[in-house]
Structure 1
């Protein structure tokens, strides 16, 4: 067996508190030429999928084997690129989500959501009027070109938008948030009380308060494995349609305004009956809605971009921004021409790792009881990628082998959104599900209640 593959899986399985004897249940195969990069993205992808599968067979009491097919992994890690909705390709990045030249370097912005776009333009003093896309892009470029990279970062975050200055690995290592991230493990696991083991009837109930890729990848993986996953979004700010089509397969979705007393009461009833709560909003954003809610024995998984610690502990963030801030974009390109990983691997990898953490927490809870809390962050996964795994022997090396044939790992289905082409889950094992039980529905159209047992 490839020692690099085994090493990455061993590292994550140990962080999850798993029994090392189970590692022999994982089998690796498929084409080797996947996810070429200067950093060991291929190893991160295989290892995160492997531990998700291993945690699933452990919880199900199955012998395995867990089969990690590199072609399936590579296809799933760019699932958003393979998605087709009635033959139409998705929109993955808006025109204002990109790198920009500042007067002293580069800045990466994220403006896919309308409110983030508005905050970016406000911070830069660019009018969000009737000007076309070309004119708006030119105005933003001119405004950032007159500012420093860090000055832009500071101003945009202060306005509620998202922008980070491009940093080298050394600059991130010296940054206070970088030091905080480096001082912590890839994930943390806590037992919060001595609640007895829970008695569950019917499918696992997972309340999903996440957005974009990492959290939804975790919860769609739990849905694949039979959980009743109910995603909640605010009615005035639903998930972007193409993101919903890609990551809400297998789930139900409801709209609740938690600032309304009746909706907050309905949310509290859902949470009281939930087995798992997964959150992916910036740290602290949901605290006022969660205080005093939930019953003993709940497994809570908290996902953030930068971690819930350090000077950036309350900041929003996305995979592309974390790559820029932490030096990954410089490593994959240069300080003069920033690059990117071949996939939003921090998102996807953290998603599969989060699913594994939830499953391991449930397995431990069934045995020992106790409410559980796991915390993961994109920056922590990024640090694991850059510091825990050996670099490829040749930059961009994929190990050779046959090319990936993504069509082997794609499927099509008809549903409320029309004809969808989508990537199948790479989490596969003997006796496990081959596909999701339902396509994504109309966003927010499901009733806010659990399925009956």
Structure 2
């Protein structure tokens, strides 16, 4: 079924995506989306609608799977403001009542270039910051000697994370739906366990993802009852600032796929898995024998979920990308800057001061769209059989968000609600929507040091019969 976004009504947006992925229309009456999503946060883009829609679809898909397994359908409700805080969850959690320290460098930010354009430097990891500084001596002064495109090209040659604003990048995935389901192999219909306590009870997920979108997806599947094993590499730098929040409900282990024994161990894990979730660049795991079609041969009936920054076609398909890089590349920063200048009565220049969106909406919405797509595919393995691939890209999510249109600046920045302050003790709004979780020790070995307590924003989708599973987080890699 073709996908056409409806810019007027969040419920219609959800309807379009639900039907486009082959799910029954009669289930949509059970999705209850709250009012006033456009003023849920101060942005000219419909961030509240995007958050509410993506989280609502993930919850409704879980409820539908529970219906297929029990014959009983439940309601799913999502408040827009809660959804906005959910898609900025890494800002609100605490460990033992303390705020964690961010892992990225002060170097990160938006800088002007000599062609009066701008680039965004992303330094999630220490080697990213070191690599950028190897190209530049004094960041802003040096960048004024480069054009945006030339610097982006040089950074890409050195495997750094930089994005320049680009009209062609905006157009690259125009018309591509934010979630794609592709049949990749034959398999019999999935046998279903009757009357499970949670929608995804008994579903095993291998989560090979990093940073935000993929881990948010895995966390969501765990909240709906799936057994999620996060698999990381001991050779890659970790992100403790993000893992503590996004590994909630998961077990974790480490495998080095360059080691034959570890490679074989992952293949054995695949044989018992229902979902294989990965967020490496296209072809990265395929070259190691874990592409979608290879996985479908190892485990017929598997759902392979793949996330990338710029999609599977075109000149940018292999380009590195994070949320804010894709925001920059697809023009959100300029458009938000224009709207904010208009709100303040300032002349709208040809190239206004860029303004980032208030949350990393592309990452989080992509994560919830992944969770929705995976569950849509699981539902189809129950009703039709087969093996399925789920595709989501940050750039396709970006073009979907842009297709919803912008909010008038007076409404966006005058009536739109700012995010709470990050502080200890927590802002009352954050505290009211938070849940307390206790650290688990893992399956096979004890973690070092005392067990910790995590407070975090609870999942924004409220299921009327099967509330989300409130399991703790190991918070430490390799504990299972």
Tell me the TM-score normalised to structure 1 length: 0.88
CA-to-partner distance for each residue in 1:186-233, whole Å, 9 max, x for gaps?
222111222112346771110101111111111100001111101111
1:14 is matched with which residue: 19, 24, 29?
Answer: 19
Please show how residues 332-343 of structure 1 align to structure 2 within 5 Å: 332-334=336-338, 335-343=351-359
Q: CA deviation at 1:432?
A: 2.0
Please tell me the root mean square deviation across aligned C-alpha atoms, in Å.
2.3
Q: CA deviation at 1:31?
A: 7.2
Inter-partner Cα distance in structure 1 for 2:100 and 2:107: 19
Runs (5+) with no aligned partner, structure 1: 127-138, 447-453
8 Å contact 2:136–2:143 — kept in the other structure? no
Inter-partner Cα distance in structure 1 for 2:478 and 2:458: 23
**Structure 2 match to 1:295:** 299
Q: Which moved more, 1:148-157 or 1:92-101?
A: 92-101
SS at match of 1:307: coil
8 Å contact 1:39–1:395 — kept in the other structure? no
C-alpha spacing 1:56/1:39, structure 2 compared with 1 (3 Å): same
**Structure 2 match to 1:150:** 149
SS at match of 1:181: coil
**Structure 2 match to 1:234:** 233
1:328 is matched with which residue: 319, 327, 332?
Answer: 332
Q: CA deviation at 1:116?
A: 2.5
Tell me the TM-score normalised to structure 2 length: 0.83
The number of aligned residues is: 424
Q: Which moved more, 1:290-299 or 1:61-70?
A: 290-299
C-alpha spacing 1:272/1:433, structure 2 compared with 1 (3 Å): same
CA-to-partner distance for each residue in 1:267-305, whole Å, 9 max, x for gaps?
110112111011111111211221544311110011011
**Structure 2 match to 1:415:** 439
Inter-partner Cα distance in structure 2 for 1:146 and 1:444: 45
Q: Which moved more, 1:404-413 or 1:186-195?
A: 404-413
CA-to-partner distance for each residue in 1:157-187, whole Å, 9 max, x for gaps?
11011101134xxxx2xx1x43330142222
8 Å contact 2:180–2:373 — kept in the other structure? no
2:170 is matched with which residue: 173, 178, 196?
Answer: 178
1:206 is the counterpart of 2:198: no
Runs (5+) with no aligned partner, structure 2: 1-6, 194-200, 339-350, 421-428, 441-450
**Structure 2 match to 1:26:** 31
1:424 is the counterpart of 2:448: no
Q: CA deviation at 1:436?
A: 2.5
1:374 is matched with which residue: 390, 396, 408?
Answer: 390
2:472 is matched with which residue: 423, 438, 447?
Answer: 438
1:101 is the counterpart of 2:107: no
Q: CA deviation at 1:81?
A: 0.7
Inter-partner Cα distance in structure 2 for 1:72 and 1:336: 31
Runs of 4+ in 1 over 6 A off after TM superposition: 401-404
8 Å contact 2:225–2:469 — kept in the other structure? no
